[in-house]
Copies of this chain bind each other. A is one copy, B any other.
Amino acid sequence: MARIRPPEFHPALLVIDMQNGFCTHGGCYEKFGATIGADINKYRKIIPNMRKIIDVCHELRIPVFYTQQVREASGIDLLTRLHRIIPKKRLEFLKIQACVRGTWDAEIIDELRPTKDDHIVVKRRDSAFQDTELELWLKGIGADTIIYTGVDTCICVENSIREGFNNGYDVILVEDAVASSWPELHKATLMKVRGSFGLVLTTEQLIDMLQTTKRGASGFRFSTESL
A65, closest chain B residue (CB): B76
A170, closest chain B residue (CB): B85
CA distance A92 to B194 in the complex (A): 14
Residues of B contacting A5 in the complex (Cβ-Cβ under 8 angstroms): 80, 84-86
Flag if A131 contacts B136 (CB, 8 Å). Answer: yes
Chain A contact residue count (CB 8 A cutoff): 70
Flag if B3 contacts A88 (CB, 8 Å). Answer: yes
Q: Is the interface of A mostly helix, strand, loop or mixed?
A: mixed
Flag if B119 contacts A76 (CB, 8 Å). Answer: yes
Residues of B contacting A188 in the complex (Cβ-Cβ under 8 angstroms): 154, 184-185, 188
Query: In this assembly, does A216 line the interface, its C-beta being within 8 Å of a C-beta of chain B?
Result: no
Residues of B contacting A165 in the complex (Cβ-Cβ under 8 angstroms): 83
CA distance A127 to B50 in the complex (A): 30
Residues of B contacting A162 in the complex (Cβ-Cβ under 8 angstroms): 126-127, 158-159, 162
**Given known A86-B198, A159-B162, A159-B166, contact A77–B133 (CB-CB < 8 A):** yes
Smallest CB separation, A84 vs chain B (Å):
4
Flag if B168 contacts A139 (CB, 8 Å). Answer: yes
**Given known A36-B195, A84-B5, contact A133–B140 (CB-CB < 8 A):** no
Residues of B contacting A9 in the complex (Cβ-Cβ under 8 angstroms): 84
The B-contacting residues of A in range 62-86, CB under 8 angstroms, are 72, 74, 76-78, 80-86
Flag if A88 contacts B131 (CB, 8 Å). Answer: no
CA distance A124 to B168 in the complex (A): 12
Query: In this assembly, does A49 line the interface, its C-beta being within 8 Å of a C-beta of chain B?
Result: no
CA distance A80 to B114 in the complex (A): 25
Smallest CB separation, A135 vs chain B (Å):
8
